[in-house]
Structure 1
Amino acid sequence: MTTPHIRDFHPDDLDGILHLWEQAKTSDAEPVYALSEVIASCQIDHAVVAVDGDRVVGAAVGRAAHAQGWIVFFATDRTVASVRDSAVGARMLAALERHMAPLGLAKLSALMPESQTRLDDFVAQGFELKKNLRYVERELPVQREELVVLRELGGRLLSRGLWEGVGGMQKEKELLELRLVTPLAEPDLAERFGVVPPRAVMLFGPPGTGKTTFAKAIASRLEWSFVEVFPSRLSGDPKGLAGALRETFQKISELEHAVVFIDEVEEIASHRQGEPPSPLQGVTNELLKLIPEFREQSGRLLICATNFIRSLDTAFLRHGRFDYVVPIGLPDTGARRAIWSGYLPSDVAAAGLVDLDALVAHTDGFTPADIEFAARRASQAALERALHSPGGTGAGVEAGPTTSDYLEAVRSTRRTVSEEVASEFLEDIDRIARL
């Protein structure tokens, strides 16, 4: 019986590494690192293998991070007699350590599943078992190779927590959570119940009601890349708006997951009419072709938003293009309370001197943007009053905005949504909404 030979990794050893990884995966001690990470470290970091004849019977793979070294993969083929009857594992660890010695590492560590019982090779090489340690990890939603494409598109990964930060609007949030987020975030669960994850949704409602906020919150909730498409920016492209739009969607297809947002979509999807056809009709036609192609890709959600849903081309909203047509209306009582609470200075809110019920009652019909404007106006008025008071320090809770300041700001704020627009929106819900 020959003793396995220890040598440096060679690209021809990849099949052997794959066999060892698959063998470990089917055991109780499944590898901690994914196969892609193991292969990458074999090629660019440090790796040694144990070879019996021309067969790879063991591997030890490591990488360094500053003064800390990590063993990314360690496995031996225990079905081979020469492996069982020799200290090949300890020898591989010693060879890997010598390989990494020039890096000046202070520590060499290994992560392994709790079910791993064969620690003799590590103990023989001087490793100590550390107790009372916990291992936590998080998979980052955007990988390195996607960042270049994302930058070219002007997209970004939004911060976590935007979904929870949407104040009130509980009815809309519950609807979007059930219809959009859950099927996309839990595709296996959706498949069990025969639910097809949505690919495109239309948000409509009066200006300033939070359609863009919801689109960003959905991307944040899913932890998907957020790409906003601006037709006005694409219009100057030498290929023309239609060509630039197609190129943009082709580049988006390179991302693993993406929420694509087009605001004020009526600019490029309005009713097609007139002879000869206007240049925008070609753009509308192109968009109508792109949506079915977009829908064929998994891990994608197109969100379009419009303030004027009646102006959209009839073919644009038909079944097969948009799964849902969701109304986003004016904030209800709970939403207005949440929005106002977010704008009250912490000291003022803690003192409880502002009549929040009065602010909520007097802003029925206000958009979130209207409430923000009134809140900032009241704060500015209170600051100016404090600066012109004796001493001009503005110290004390009494220097903060009062109920009167807020109500005066509300009275002087012009509502974005008129009664007529609000009434038309209710009609559109009955006539167009698809939930």
Structure 2
Amino acid sequence: MQPWSVRDFHPDDLDQLIGVWQDSRTPGVHPVYTLSEIIDACSNGVAAVAVSEGQVIGAVACKIQDARAWIVMLAQSREWREQGLGSALLAGMEDRLTSQGIQRVSALLPASETRVRAFRNSEYKVEEDLHYFERTIPLQAKEIGPLSQLGGRLLPHGLWDALAGMQREKSLIENRLILPLARTELAKSLGVTPPRSVVLFGPPGTGKTTFAKAVASRLDWPFVEVFPSRLAADPQGLAGALRQVFADIARLEHAVVFIDEVEEIAAARTGEASSPLQGVTNELLKIIPSFREKEGRLLICATNFIRSLDKAFLRHGRFDYVIPIGPPDLDARTAIWNRYIPRAIAAHIDVDALAQASERFSPADIEYAARKASQQALERAVQGDPESPRKEQALMSSDYLTAIEGTRATVTEPIVKEFLEDIQRIARV
């Protein structure tokens, strides 16, 4: 006779059940189901416990989906292992499921889980060709409303890896921003304070917004972009609207907050009678220290005109780093060209020559030149002599080079010169 009995789960068993679940976990093995999911299955699914001398020593719980039962927990106290208790719990569960007309019972367990033997002994079939995938969405239910109101969102994974080239900037941002924020405890133990706010500056179209989004993607934090031009129409005024937006952001557990063209609301104050814009600048200067008080958030401001920002805005204590983002380097230009060249002809295009010829081109400049070459090839194909050789209608390297010659680079040499001067005078990395 077995020294235990299996009966239905009662709500009074919950505390002991949780203790058994914790005791049964294999060290270092991530459970498939969370404790909250297990408790829900006990309350709304089918659950049974094994009891010995009035104490719960094992438990099994299932959630029911359509005509299938999913075992979300099979647990027993350590001292009762290897005695057939797991198999007995499974048998008891099957009896209860059978009475409800459930015929299919499934379970997901980590490969290193020790309770696999109970399932094998109970003649559960192992599906070797199945893979289990899991992702925890880093957003709490209470954050969904505020994030939606702010127009924020979780960005797709892989944006960081998609940033080809720009290795100097990527390495700098990876080490200064992402590493301390992703490994906060380690950073703190080594005396590193994770950054709270940074400024990205550089010529127009150099990818500052792309970098901000890639940081959010890399950290797996929601991305919230603040648009001063939209806030200006708010009945409470731009300063009041800005204050309210940051109050709403404070309700988020994590967030990358991005303000592009921040010079619109943080331009150097003239010292003359206060104006509405100066009031906005003053408000922003008050908001940033408050924003910096809470962990798990990062403010990224971007500007094309770093020289125009108020000196108080850039001082130590408000921004941890002032990072230059220059025009795409050769590797980055090569990657951008590859993005716009049709795959069918890519092998016949000298991409290296295009990257060399498009120095100082922004990503938007490269896109424009690529689309221009494609459009001209289309017109030539449609309007040309149908009897002419196909070569005359195909896209060739010369078409792209011609398009490059006809495209005015956004970043001029004087802009590059000023940018290099700003790096020496203002950058803080």
**TM-score category (smaller protein):** 0.7 to 0.9
Does residue 361 in structure 1 map to residue 362 in structure 2?
no
Q: Which residue of 1 aligns with 2:314?
A: 317
Q: 1:277 aligns with which of 274, 283, 303?
A: 274
Answer with 55-64 or 19-28: which moved more.
19-28
Distance 1:362 1:315, change over 3 A: same
Give the 3-state SS of the residue equivalent to 2:191 in structure 1.
Answer: coil
2: CA distance between counterparts of 1:247 and 1:103? 54
Q: Which residue of 2 aligns with 1:216?
A: 213
Structure 2 letter corresponding to 1:326: I
Q: Please report how far the alpha carbon of residue 75 of structure 1 lies from its aligned counterpart in structure 2 after TM superposition.
A: 1.6
CA contact (8 A) 2:212 2:300 kept: yes
Distance 1:177 1:66, change over 3 A: farther
Q: Normalised by the size of structure 1, how large is the TM-score?
A: 0.85
Give the 3-state SS of the residue equivalent to 2:16 in structure 1.
Answer: helix
Q: Which residue of 2 aligns with 1:155?
A: 152
Q: 1:202 aligns with which of 190, 199, 203?
A: 199
Distance 1:362 1:102, change over 3 A: farther
Distance 1:406 1:131, change over 3 A: closer
Answer with 242-251 or 313-322: which moved more.
242-251
Answer with 109-118 or 421-430: which moved more.
109-118
Does residue 39 in structure 1 map to residue 39 in structure 2?
yes
Does residue 139 in structure 1 map to residue 135 in structure 2?
yes
Give the 3-state SS of the residue equivalent to 2:345 in structure 1.
Answer: helix
CA contact (8 A) 2:67 2:103 kept: yes
Give the 3-state SS of the residue equivalent to 2:47 in structure 1.
Answer: strand
CA contact (8 A) 1:201 1:325 kept: yes
Q: Which residue of 2 aligns with 1:390?
A: 385
Does residue 381 in structure 1 map to residue 376 in structure 2?
yes
Q: Please report how far the alpha carbon of residue 249 of structure 1 lies from its aligned counterpart in structure 2 after TM superposition.
A: 2.5
Percent identity of equivalent pairs = 54
Structure 2 gaps, min length 5: none
Q: Please report how far the alpha carbon of residue 29 of structure 1 lies from its aligned counterpart in structure 2 after TM superposition.
A: 7.3
Q: Which residue of 2 aligns with 1:414?
A: 408
Answer with 20-29 or 234-243: which moved more.
20-29
Q: CA RMSD in A?
A: 3.2
Give the 3-state SS of the residue equivalent to 1:346 in structure 2.
Answer: coil
Structure 1 letter corresponding to 2:14: L
Where does 1:27-176 land on structure 2 (aligned, <5 Å)? 31-51=31-51, 55-77=55-77, 79=79, 89-90=86-87, 92-97=89-94, 99-100=96-97, 105-114=102-111, 116-117=113-114, 122=119, 126-128=122-124, 130=126, 132=128, 136-143=132-139, 145=141, 146-176=143-173
Structure 1 letter corresponding to 2:42: C
Q: Please report how far the alpha carbon of residue 53 of structure 1 lies from its aligned counterpart in structure 2 after TM superposition.
A: 6.9
Answer with 339-348 or 203-212: which moved more.
339-348
CA contact (8 A) 1:28 1:116 kept: no
1: CA distance between counterparts of 2:43 and 2:31? 18
Distance 1:111 1:408, change over 3 A: closer
CA contact (8 A) 1:270 1:312 kept: yes
Answer with 311-320 or 278-287: which moved more.
278-287
CA contact (8 A) 1:347 1:397 kept: no
Distance 1:62 1:359, change over 3 A: same
CA contact (8 A) 2:62 2:70 kept: yes
Answer with 155-164 or 138-147: which moved more.
138-147
CA contact (8 A) 2:97 2:103 kept: no
Q: Normalised by the size of structure 2, how large is the TM-score?
A: 0.86
Q: Please report how far the alpha carbon of residue 327 of structure 1 lies from its aligned counterpart in structure 2 after TM superposition.
A: 0.6
2: CA distance between counterparts of 1:13 and 1:254? 36
Q: Give CA-to-partner distance per residue, 1:309-346, whole Å, 9 cap, x none.
A: 11212121111222211111112223222222322222
How many equivalent pairs are there? 427
Give the 3-state SS of the residue equivalent to 1:140 in structure 2.
Answer: coil
Give the 3-state SS of the residue equivalent to 1:155 in structure 2.
Answer: coil
Q: Which residue of 2 aligns with 1:24?
A: 24
Distance 1:220 1:144, change over 3 A: same
Q: Give CA-to-partner distance per residue, 1:191-227, whole Å, 9 cap, x none.
A: 4543332222211011111111111122222222211
2: CA distance between counterparts of 1:251 and 1:104? 49
Structure 2 letter corresponding to 1:76: Q
CA contact (8 A) 1:66 1:105 kept: no
1: CA distance between counterparts of 2:67 and 2:40? 20
2: CA distance between counterparts of 1:13 and 1:70? 21
CA contact (8 A) 2:5 2:52 kept: yes
Q: 2:422 aligns with which of 419, 423, 428?
A: 428
Q: 1:183 aligns with which of 180, 185, 189?
A: 180
Does residue 400 in structure 1 map to residue 401 in structure 2?
no
CA contact (8 A) 2:206 2:327 kept: yes
Does residue 298 in structure 1 map to residue 295 in structure 2?
yes
Distance 1:183 1:349, change over 3 A: same
CA contact (8 A) 2:30 2:110 kept: yes
Q: Which residue of 1 aligns with 2:233?
A: 236
Q: Which residue of 2 aligns with 1:7?
A: 8
Structure 2 letter corresponding to 1:367: S
1: CA distance between counterparts of 2:248 and 2:114? 47
Structure 1 gaps, min length 5: none
Q: Please report how far the alpha carbon of residue 274 of structure 1 lies from its aligned counterpart in structure 2 after TM superposition.
A: 4.3
Q: Which residue of 1 aligns with 2:246?
A: 249
Give the 3-state SS of the residue equivalent to 1:227 in structure 2.
Answer: strand
Answer with 307-316 or 295-304: which moved more.
295-304
2: CA distance between counterparts of 1:389 and 1:95? 79
Give the 3-state SS of the residue equivalent to 2:193 in structure 1.
Answer: coil
Q: Which residue of 2 aligns with 1:341?
A: 338
